[in-house]
Chain A
Amino acid sequence: MSNDTIIEYDYSVAKAFTFTSIIFGIVAMLVGVIIAFQLAYPDLNNIAGEYGTFGRLRPIHTSGAIFGFTLSGIFACWYYIAQRVLKVSLKESPFLMWVAKLHFAVYLITMLLAVVTLLAGITTSKEYAELEWPLDIMITVFWLLWGVGIFGLIGIRRERTLYISIWYFIASFLAIAMLHLFNSMEVPTALYSGYGSWMHSVSMYSGTNDALVQWWYGHNAVAFVLTVPIIAMVYYFLPKESGQNIYSYKLSILAFWGLLFVYLWAGGHHLIYSTVPDWMQTMGSVMSVILILPSWGSAINMLLTMKGQWAQLQNNTLIKFMILASTFYMLSTIEGPIQAIKSVNAIAHFTDWIPGHVHDGTLGWVVFMIMAGLFHMAPRMYKRKIYSKSLMDTQFWLQTTGIVLYFTSMWIAGITQGMMWRAYDEYGSLVYSFIDTVTVLQPYYTIRAVGGLLYLVGFLLFSYNMFKTATAGEVLEKEPTNATPVAA
């Protein structure tokens, strides 16, 4: 096909995942706000009997945000970006189209079952891998279907060289497949013994080994769901939206391969001062600090892409979204290594500084980048103009304020609590009983919950804006274009 022939891209699956991303986003953030208020006002735990306690709701918040909202967003962006940078339409292969639709169906069923089972308390207890074995198998199925889609589409591509975004999607696919398979090794007890619930399973690893495998998974599930595919998005959407070339190809190579090599080592920083061997803790700590290089490599590449074009921040809200996201990525990837230094970790571990760190990464970087991606895609998928630019601006400031309230309050709470736990008086006795270190946090928990609420309101504005764009936006004659240097 010659270059001037227009390829008719198919967005049906991208639209479906956009929809689930928004729905799961609302659910996960709503639950997040509820459990944040529960910590400030514990009576809220008893609103729905055993199903409304913090313990039951927390995995729904984390899994909903990571595997509901973020994964949907990633898949939506994949089914949009991949066709364009590989120069091939999904429609050209009925098989790949069928795989993509099956991928969506299995994914959706898995996620709905996840909510039900977690509410019922059916959990393996492993963070971000709480789902029991039948659901683990379903995850494996939809993940492999995605893999078939990835390599299938690459197989029939017209553009010979794989664009940077595709690298990151391939890495995500392979890494999550490996991590999920090894961390979910479990024996279904009823199948083996013939007694009890068929959903129940027991981990193949025990104690320290289990912890090691789990945090190798836990840390890198964060890496390859919340970081790597999000970088894939920024590498595509920022140049497209700004009309600027990526600043440096060499820097993108260094950042990509550096990130892959270093990231997997850093899981050990979750286990500092635990019973895993000391050398592993030290490796985790050292590699976390080295991780600053590839992380900042990507982020700086993004900021320098805007060189000479900073005026766009004033007139294009999406550029504002993406620059904020890149900046929060920098903040988060310097904060993480600081927490991984042993002496800092001694104070920070087990405190609220950790959720604080997670949330400046997720709220500032992941959610903002996905929202920017979906906003960029919407006019091109629905052939309609964005419904309201001023709503976008309002949303931006509401959510930015929310994030700042969130992480500042959690920094203070975490360091306060960490210092109180280890305070001794002049006679060599501990100064505070544990409950003293809990009651002191009440104001910070309240501030955090309010910050989360602001963020949720902003997300609802986003959802409304997307909904109106899809249904009532001004119809576009042709796709909006920016002076774009990259393929498609």
Chain B
Amino acid sequence: MFHWFEQRPFFFAVLVFIFISFAGIVEIIPDFAKQSRPTVGTKPYTVLELAGRNIYIKDSCNSCHSQLIRPFKSETDRYGMYSLSGEYAYDRPFLWGSKRTGPDLMRVGNYRTTDWHENHMMDPASVVPGTVMPAYPHMFTNITDMDTSYGEAYTIKHVFATPYDVDINGDGNIDVPLGTYEEAMKQALIEAKGITSDMKNQAIKDAVNAGKIPEIVALIAYLNSLK
């Protein structure tokens, strides 16, 4: 039977395609809608947090840090509650990682502070002796690309109906405002000042007061949002 196919390339290719697409169809389609439903209390990222997330991606933090707490006591004791599918509903892309050269960061916002991150990103060994993490001094001088993150928030709001500018929990207030570009930038600057009030580096404070947001501020905003 197979010999018949081996002389007819077209039908051979069709048979190959059936064999390889079968698994994807059976595995992926049945639970696709269910898995993308958010858990109660899960909110989209603010533009500043999204910018921090893009910096996290730019420097491939996910090469060494996972964001997935598995349901074992040794993991929940170390990192907090195990992960639920709905908590990732607004993660585009997902950042689970595949290797823990450093610890999991799924809920790092629960146990690390702005001050800790500020020291750690500048000189990791100063807070964690023996660490193999690189220092990221360039994050203290590079200015965050806020425009791209606004573009991303705008896109996911309109294309994927991500709930910006809506009252998610029904308390009468808008949970995560986005608004126009100008409104979003103003809001981001307010959030950035909230971060810098806990930081020591004067140059960073000055930059934010002058309306520029260094990468480290956005990154810390993102890390603090991971809970």
Check B94–A200 contact: CB distance below 8 A: no
Residues of B within 8 A of A424 (CB): 74
B 123-137 contacts with A by CB, 8 A = 125, 128-136
Residues of A within 8 A of B100 (CB): 350-351
Check A56–B59 contact: CB distance below 8 A: yes
**A363, CB-defined interface residue at 8 Å:** no
Check B148–A200 contact: CB distance below 8 A: yes
Residues of A within 8 A of B17 (CB): 174, 178
Nearest CB on A from B1, distance (A):
9
With A124-B93, A210-B94 in contact, do A55 and B13 touch (Cβ < 8 Å)?
A: no
Nearest CB on A from B129, distance (A):
8
Complex Cα–Cα for A264 and B20 (A): 6
* Total cross-chain contacts (CB, 8 A): 260
The residue from A160, A174, A211, A287 contacting B20, defined by CB atoms under 8 A apart: A174
Check B95–A54 contact: CB distance below 8 A: no
With A45-B135, A265-B27 in contact, do A206 and B20 touch (Cβ < 8 Å)?
A: no
**B206, CB-defined interface residue at 8 Å:** no
Bitwise interface map of A from 99 to 135 toward B, beta carbon under 8 Å scored 1, else 0: 0000000000000000000000111111100000000
Complex Cα–Cα for A167 and B17 (A): 12
The interface stretch among B83-91, B163-171, B186-194 is B83-91
Check A253–B2 contact: CB distance below 8 A: yes
A 193-243 contacts with B by CB, 8 A = 193-197, 200, 202-203, 205-214, 216
Nearest CB on B from A136, distance (A):
13
Check B28–A216 contact: CB distance below 8 A: yes
The residue from B2, B36, B64, B148 contacting A207, defined by CB atoms under 8 A apart: B36
**B198, CB-defined interface residue at 8 Å:** no
Check A55–B147 contact: CB distance below 8 A: no
Closest A residue by C-beta to B91:
A207
The residue from A39, A182, A196, A350 contacting B150, defined by CB atoms under 8 A apart: A196
Complex Cα–Cα for A18 and B17 (A): 29
Check A207–B89 contact: CB distance below 8 A: yes
Residues of B within 8 A of A438 (CB): 101-102, 130-132
The residue from B28, B64, B93 contacting A125, defined by CB atoms under 8 A apart: B93
**A303, CB-defined interface residue at 8 Å:** no
Check A261–B22 contact: CB distance below 8 A: yes
Residues of B within 8 A of A211 (CB): 88, 94, 96
**B103, CB-defined interface residue at 8 Å:** yes
Check A212–B36 contact: CB distance below 8 A: no
Given A151-B13, A435-B131, A438-B102, 9 more contacts at CB 8 Å? A45-B135, A55-B59, A167-B6, A187-B155, A195-B150, A206-B90, A208-B35, A216-B27, A276-B31
Query: Can you list 14 A-B pairs with a CB-CB distance of less than 8 A?
Result: A39-B101, A54-B63, A55-B61, A123-B60, A193-B155, A195-B151, A200-B151, A264-B20, A264-B21, A273-B70, A273-B72, A350-B66, A355-B99, A439-B130
A residues lining the B interface (CB < 8 Å)? 38-39, 42, 45-46, 49-50, 53-56, 58-59, 121-127, 151, 154-155, 160-162, 167, 170-171, 174-175, 178, 182, 187, 189-190, 192-197, 200, 202-203, 205-214, 216, 253, 257, 260-261, 263-265, 267-268, 270, 273-277, 280, 283, 287, 346, 349-352, 354-355, 421-424, 430, 434-435, 438-439, 445
